[in-house]
Amino acid sequence: MGRLEGRTALITGAGSGIGAACAELFSAEGANVFCADLDVDSAQAVADRIKGRSRNAAAGSVDVTKRGQCEELVSRVVKEFGGVDVLVNSAGVTPRKAPLDWDFEAKWDWVIDINLKGTLLMSHAATEVMLEKEYGSIVNLASIIGLVGYTAGLSDGFNPYPHSKGGVVQMTRDMGVAFASRGVRVNALCPGFTYTNLTKSLTDDADMRVQLESLHPMGRLGEPIEIAYAALYLASDESSFVTGSCLPVDGGYTAQ
């Protein structure tokens, strides 16, 4: 019997990277999985792979910065699967993906809107359903850069990514305490540098990749599945006494 047998997991950013790894792993552990992404074709491809193994999965588009879309998404998952037991907030961006002609303020607004506000809006919609059942687990994707500053030379001090992920860390703690007595747990993962679409521009540069590897005591970067296994722990009842925590999965990065 799988560790999420019979549960329903809603995963944003499920079209690639950590979100996709969570979707496939959660499905293998018995969950019904709804794959949500702004790129609905990518989300559908992940859902199709899951269904190809005779698991229950569906996909849909969502812009996590739009409250109405977040609420409609949760309502759809409830209608199709009967509820939402697990929410993984994996949708996120980095200023490296922003248009080149944007200034620092435009990039800041865009990143904060998706990474922080998007986590807020999806959590708000999901908790309304979870609190009715007095059961649920929310797993937020924060970052090591939500716990510590960038290494000198990797940021000009106005990079919105650490600002957004630091906000996710504090949101996780606040929500974790607020819902602790009501059956809903809220935790966050703080991955080290991991091979995903968000880091591809860095890891494709051989010199930069070597520099990033050297920042991790294990001497390498993470793989999405390694983060997904930590998410599985927080999503399952194995972590039933864990809430408000922010778990580094970082090859020792933040232990230095």
- How does the average pLDDT of the chain come out, rounded? 96
- Kindly indicate the confidence band of residue 242, based on its pLDDT and cuts at 50, 70 and 90: very high
- Please name the residue that has the structure tokens 């998952």: 77
Q: Is the pTM of this model over 0.85?
A: yes
The least confident of 59-63, 153-157, 218-222 is: 153-157
Mean pLDDT of 164-192: 98
What is residue 170's predicted lDDT score, i.e. its pLDDT? 98
Which amino acid is it at 184? V
The CATH number of the structural domain formed by 8-195+223-249 is: 3.40.50.720
What is residue 244's predicted lDDT score, i.e. its pLDDT? 98
What is residue 247's predicted lDDT score, i.e. its pLDDT? 98
Would you give the DSSP letter of residue 116? I
Mean pLDDT of 26-40: 97
Catalytic residue among 161, 195, 229, 253: 161
- Kindly indicate the confidence band of residue 155, based on its pLDDT and cuts at 50, 70 and 90: confident
pLDDT for 52 beyond 90: no
What is residue 37's predicted lDDT score, i.e. its pLDDT? 98
Mean pLDDT of 105-132: 98
What is residue 234's predicted lDDT score, i.e. its pLDDT? 98
What is residue 13's predicted lDDT score, i.e. its pLDDT? 98
Mean pLDDT of 121-136: 98
Mean pLDDT of 225-247: 98
pLDDT for 12 beyond 80: yes
Instruction: Establish whether 150 is a catalytic residue.
Output: no
Would you give the DSSP letter of residue 150? P
pLDDT for 54 beyond 80: no
- Cβ of 205: how many Cβ atoms within 10 Å? 12
What is residue 245's predicted lDDT score, i.e. its pLDDT? 98
What is residue 1's predicted lDDT score, i.e. its pLDDT? 81
Mean pLDDT of 119-132: 98
What percent of the chain has a predicted confidence (pLDDT) above 90? Answer: 93
pLDDT for 153 beyond 90: no
What percent of the chain has a predicted confidence (pLDDT) above 70? Answer: 100
pLDDT for 48 beyond 90: yes
